[in-house]
């Protein structure tokens, strides 16, 4: 199974590009693509149990009085299905991306943003 998956991936002509002010510039192309596609991802998010501490305001108690102060909110572990990752909203000019040219190279699908490995 791993070997077959590797063969499929090897055949995909993915390449690096840069988001510009007005489009996408693939490293292998001379000209910018002003219209490009962005992969749409639906995922399941798994959240572990966690707590948050902070200020509380705008709440009303049972007698109609305003409640303010410090609070701690504890959440149980959960999973949320069909969370959409909106890649295109996060792209900024200068961002490096991984793209797959399609339609004889007339269009490209941006798969993800690429970040440096030195973090």
82: how many CB neighbours lie within 10 A of its CB? 8
pLDDT, residue 5, reads: 44
CB 100 within 8 A of CB 107: no
Instruction: Provide the residue-wise pLDDT of the chain in tens; the chain has 119 residues.
Output: 445 444 444 556 889 999 999 999 999 888 899 989 998 888 999 999 999 999 988 888 889 898 888 989 999 999 999 998 877 778 899 999 999 998 888 889 999 888 876 54
pLDDT, residue 45, reads: 94
pLDDT, residue 11, reads: 59
pLDDT, residue 118, reads: 54
Q: Which of 105, 106, 100, 104 is nearest to 38 (CA)?
A: 100
Burial class (CB in 10 A: 0-12, 13-18, 19+), 99: buried
């Amino acid at each position: 199974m791993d070997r077959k998956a590797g063969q499929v991936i090897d055949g995909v002509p993915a390449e690096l590009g840069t988001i510009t002010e007005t489009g996408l510039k693939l490293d292998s192309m001379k000209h910018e693509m002003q219209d490009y596609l962005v992969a749409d991802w639906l995922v399941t998010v798994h959240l572990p149990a966690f707590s948050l501490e902070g200020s509380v305001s705008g709440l009303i108690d049972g007698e109609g009085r305003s409640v303010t102060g410090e609070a701690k909110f504890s959440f149980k572990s959960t999973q949320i299905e069909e969370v959409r990752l909106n890649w295109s909203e996060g792209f900024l000019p200068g961002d490096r991306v991984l793209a797959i040219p399609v339609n004889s190279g007339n269009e490209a699908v941006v798969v993800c943003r690429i970040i440096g490995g030195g973090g």
